[in-house]
Amino acid sequence: GIQVEQSPPDLILQEGANSTLRCNFSDSVNNLQWFHQNPWGQLINLFYIPSGTKQNGRLSATTVATERYSLLYISSSQTTDSGVYFCHGGTSYGKLTFGQGTILTVHP
Amino acid sequence: NAGVTQTPKFQVLKTGQSMTLQCAQDMNHNSMYWYRQDPGMGLRLIYYSASEGTTDKGEVPNGYNVSRLNKREFSLRLESAAPSQTSVYFCASSEFQGRIFQYFGPGTRLTVT
């Protein structure tokens, strides 16, 4: 199946800083989502973004499908942004793979 | 609109016991999924049901069975629980084919002693 590599594995920020998370895929995908898992374990949809760029408040995401990567940008980070960020992608129902996640800690 | 619901939220089993995890969605989605999440890891697909009446194995199906009871409900059964099945289990659903946008339930934390 598709391999998904996320970087960095860990990220520590001061409140107000910006960050970029990256997700690389070993093959082409036509479905791609970014999730935030909060400290209570809940998985929250951030973006569905198999290609192009989307923005939602302080978060934005860009997927370059031809180069098999996606980026998640967090601007002006807040302590509530802490948690684990996952990308998840693939081509069909049984061939969707999660990355290992980026653990983000934002200090006040 | 509750989205995806899972029961129970927590469960402790002894080795060899059986149990069924329940999942229901009220978004009229065709497809449903079961994942497990182990510490420090992403989620891994156990089974999925692309549509009512069909089920297929995912990446880690051994030790589990599933039933797509109707369009709303998708259950996961552990016939003889093992300590290696200690994990957090997530159910998800997604809408129509061609755009697999998944919504996740809150998870069930299972401990097998």
Residue B99 has what pLDDT? Answer: 73
pLDDT at residue B95 in the model: 83
Q: Which residues of A touch B94 (CB under 8 A)?
A: 93
Contact check, Cβ <8 Å, A98/B42: yes
Contact B104 A43 (CB under 8 A): yes
Is A39 touching B (CB cutoff 8 A)? no
A2 touches chain B (CB under 8 A): no
Q: Is the pLDDT of residue B96 over 70?
A: no
- Name which of B112, B70, B108 is nearest B91 in CA terms: B108
Query: What is the band of A17 on the pLDDT scale with cuts at 50, 70, 90?
Result: very high
Region B29-51 average pLDDT? 91
DSSP, collapsed to helix, strand or coil, labels residue B94 as strand
Specify whether the CB–CB gap between A86 and A34 falls below 8 A: yes
Residue whose entry in the numeric block shows the structure tokens 């089974």: B47
Size of interface A-B (CB pairs under 8 A): 57
CB spacing of B101 vs A94 below 8 angstroms: no
Model pLDDT for residues A32-63, shown as the tens digit of each residue: 999 999 999 999 999 999 999 999 999 999 99
Pairwise CA distance, residues A18 & B14, whole Å:
46
Note the pLDDT of residue A93: 66
Average pLDDT over residues B55-73: 95
Which pLDDT belongs to residue B97?
Answer: 58
Residue B93, pLDDT above cutoff 90: yes
Query: What is the per-residue pLDDT for A95?
Result: 77
